[in-house]
Structure 1
Amino acid sequence: MKHVLIVFCLIMVNVPNSFSQQIFKKQTTLMGSVFGFVLVENDSVQAQQYFQLITDEIERIENLISEWKPNTQISQVNKNAGIRPIKVDREVFELTQRAVHYSQLTEGAFDISIAALDKVWLFDGSMEQLPSEDVIRSSVQHVGYQHIILDSINSTIFLEKKGMKIGFGSIGKGYAADKGRELLQSLGVVGGIVNASGDLSTWGTQPDKKPWKIGVSNPFKAHKMIKVLKLRHGAVATSGSNEKFTEIDGKRYSHIIDPKTGWPSTGLTSVTVSGSSAEFANFLSTSIMVLGHKYGKKLIEKFPDYNAIMVKDR
C-alpha cells in the first residue's frame, strides 16, 4: 500500500539580509527513508540542537511502530496474531484505532493489515503475464481490518487470525512528520518543514513572512511542476505508481494493491493531497489511488479542508 515516490521540491528564494532569522536545513536517513528538515532560526547552534531533538523523535516513533524491527510493539502484536492480545502504549493504540477508522471510511480500500499480503505481483519488469485469479484471491487471505480487535480499556491490540500482520507503511511517515512539527512548535521554533520522503508538514513562514512553496512534480515530465502549493500550517502527501509499476498487454498496474481484491490499482498515476495533517493526507492519497478517480473524488469531497490533485494514467 505504501508509495515510494517523492514529488515535491521546496522552492525558496534568497532572503534579504534585513531579516535576522535564517533558514537552516538538514537531510538524514530515518525509518528507512530520506528525511529533510527545514527550520527558521536565528542561531546555527540552536538549530543543530533542534535537528538532534527531531531526529530523536522520529527514531522514537520508528521504535514503536516499525514492523521490521523485531522488538517493537507492532512486531510483538504481529508475532502474537491468533494467540493473544498485546498491550501497547496509548500512542500506538490510538494510531491503530485511527487506521481502523480509515478502513471503515473507505470500506477497506485502506487497510494496515495489508502488511500480510502475499507478494504475487512483481514490479521489477520481469512479469509478462497476470497471476491467476485464484492466486490473486488467495494473496489477501490474511488481510482484513475487521479482524483487528482493539481493547481501549486495557490498551491492547489483538489480530484474530494466525498469519495476520499490521504495518504503518501507508501513514507512518506522515504521522512522524506531524509529530515532528508538533515537537518543534512546542519548543518555540517559529517556522519550518518536516519532510518524510515527500510526506511533509509545515508551519509558520519563511523569514520574509512568505508562505512555504511546495512544487508538485508532473509524473510524466521530469523537472516540470503541475502546481505550486503555498503553505503555512499545512501538510502534503503523495501516492503514485510512476516509479514502481508493471505493464502487461499495454495496461499499467500500480504497486499499490487493493487490500480487498489483491489487484493493483489502475487508472491513476499519482495522487497528491494537501490539508492540515500529513497522516490524514497520507491516508487519503493511498485510498484514492485504490478507489480510482470517480470514487476517490467522492472520498475527498467528504473532507472539504483537504484537496487532491489526481493524475490519470496515460
Structure 2
Amino acid sequence: MSKYLKPYNIFLFIVIITFQIEAQNIYKRTLKLMGSRFDITVIAKDSTEANTHIDTAIDEISRIERLISSWDINSQTSEINRKAGIQPVKVDRELFDLIKRSLAISKLTDGAFDISYASMDRIWKFDGSMTKMPSEADIADSVRKVGFQNIVLDDVNSTVFLKLKDMKIGFGAIGKGYAADKAKSMLIDQGVASGIINASGDMTTWGKQTNGDEWKVAITNPLNKNKAFALLPITDGAVVTSGDYEKYVNFNGKRYTHIIDPRTGYPSTGIISVTVFAPKAELADALSTSVFVMGKDVGLNRINQLPHIECIIIDEDGNIFTSTNIKINKI
C-alpha cells in the first residue's frame, strides 16, 4: 500500500494548486485620474477582494497626483514653480528623487526629454485653429525659459531651485508612468499576484493571466488606429506608446506632430508612433517621447545602448523599425 501513497499525495497536491489558480478571476475598473483614463486590472478570488485592491491603487495614484501636479496650487511642484528665480524649495524626498531621475534622462537623451518643457509658450495649436506656421522668432522665444540645466538640486537639503524667473517644471511625460509603477508596487506588496495598470497607454504588468498565459499588449497600427499590427507578450514589465496620429498639423506639405522638441520649439517630424518596452513605466514613458524627438536613427541608437529596453518605431510612410533584440510577429 505504501508504494501508492506518494503518488496519491502528489496528485492531491496538484489538484489543490490547480483549484486555487482556477478560483482566481480578472476584475477591472476604468476611471479618470490625473486628468487621464486609467484601467486598473487585478486578479482576485472575488469582487470584494478585487475592489479593495483597486481602491488601494486609486488612493496611491491620487496621492502621487497631489504631489506632482502643477495644476494643484497646494502641490510641492506648484511651490517650486512659484519660487522660480527667487529661492530653493524644500520638497519630499520622493519628489526630489523623481526630479533627479528626470534630469538623468534629460542628460541621457541630450535634452529631448525635459521636465522644464512646462515653461514653453504654447504657440502651436492642434485643435484645428492654426492657419499658418508660427514665426521663427516666436518659436525661438517660446523655449527661452526651457532648459534642464537650470534646475538646481541640493541633495543634502532636498531642495529644488529653478534659476530663471517664470520657469516651470511639469511631469506630463513621466508622471502617469511613475504613478502606474507606484500603484503596481503597492498592490504587489499587498499580495496581488497579477494585474495591469494602464494609464492612458502607459501600461505596466505583473504576474500572468488566470490560464497561466503571459499578458499580451496590442501595438496599434497608427495608420488605422482601430486595428493592431502586432500582439506581444509582456511579463513583469512596462510598455508605453507615443503617437501623433490624432494631433498634428500640415503646413507646406509637411506634417508637424503635437510632440514638440523642448530644445528648439519645433514639433517632431518623420515618426508617427514609438513604442518602448522597459522594466518600469516611468522610464518607458520618458523614453517614448524622447525617441519621438530624437528621430529614428538617433533614437534607435540610444535605445540599443540601454540594457533591458526595446523599441518599435513607425515612420510617416508606415515603415517599421525595431531595436536589436525585439522580434515582431504581425497579426
- Regarding TM over 0.5, the answer is yes
Cα RMSD after superposing both structures: 1.3
Q: Which one-letter code corresponds to 1:129 in the other structure?
A: K
Task: For CA contacts below 8 A with separation 6 or more, give which structure has more relative contact order.
Answer: 1
> Which protein has the larger Cα radius of gyration, Structure 1 or Structure 2?
2
Counterpart-to-counterpart distance in 2, 1:226 and 1:79: 45
Quote the residue 1:8 is aligned against. Answer: none
Alignment of 1:256-295 (within 5 A): 256-295=259-298
Question: Residues 109 and 85 from structure 1, CA distance in 2 versus in 1: closer, same or farther, beyond 3 angstroms?
Answer: same
Q: Alignment partner for residue 209 of structure 1, among 212, 228, 240?
A: 212
Give 1:76 deviation, angstroms. Answer: 0.3
Counterpart-to-counterpart distance in 2, 1:260 and 1:270: 20
Deviates more, 1:149-158 or 1:225-234: 225-234
Listed as ranges, the gaps of 5+ residues in structure 1 are 1-15
Deviating 4+ runs (over 6 angstroms) = none
Question: Residues 290 and 18 from structure 1, CA distance in 2 versus in 1: closer, same or farther, beyond 3 angstroms?
Answer: closer
Give 1:17 deviation, angstroms. Answer: 11
Q: Deviations over 1:79-132 (max 9, x none)?
A: 000011111100000000000111111111110000010011111122222111
Q: Alignment partner for residue 152 of structure 1, among 130, 143, 155?
A: 155
Counterpart-to-counterpart distance in 2, 1:74 and 1:304: 31
Aligned partners of 2:216 and 2:231 also within 8 Å: yes
Q: TM-score, normalised by structure 1?
A: 0.93
Q: TM-score, normalised by structure 2?
A: 0.88
Quote the residue 1:25 is aligned against. Answer: 28
Is 1:70 aligned to 2:95, yes or no?
Answer: no
Give 1:222 deviation, angstroms. Answer: 3.2
Give 1:313 deviation, angstroms. Answer: 1.1
Quote the residue 1:235 is aligned against. Answer: 238
Is 1:189 aligned to 2:192, yes or no?
Answer: yes
Q: Deviations over 1:267-304 (max 9, x none)?
A: 10010111211111111100000011111111111113
Q: Which one-letter code corresponds to 1:44 in the other structure?
A: S
Give 1:232 deviation, angstroms. Answer: 1.5
Aligned partners of 2:238 and 2:277 also within 8 Å: yes
Q: Alignment partner for residue 62 of structure 2, among 53, 59, 62?
A: 59
Q: Which one-letter code corresponds to 2:288 in the other structure?
A: S
Listed as ranges, the gaps of 5+ residues in structure 2 are 1-18, 318-331
Number of equivalences: 299
SS at match of 1:238: strand
Q: Which one-letter code corresponds to 2:182 in the other structure?
A: K
Counterpart-to-counterpart distance in 2, 1:36 and 1:103: 29
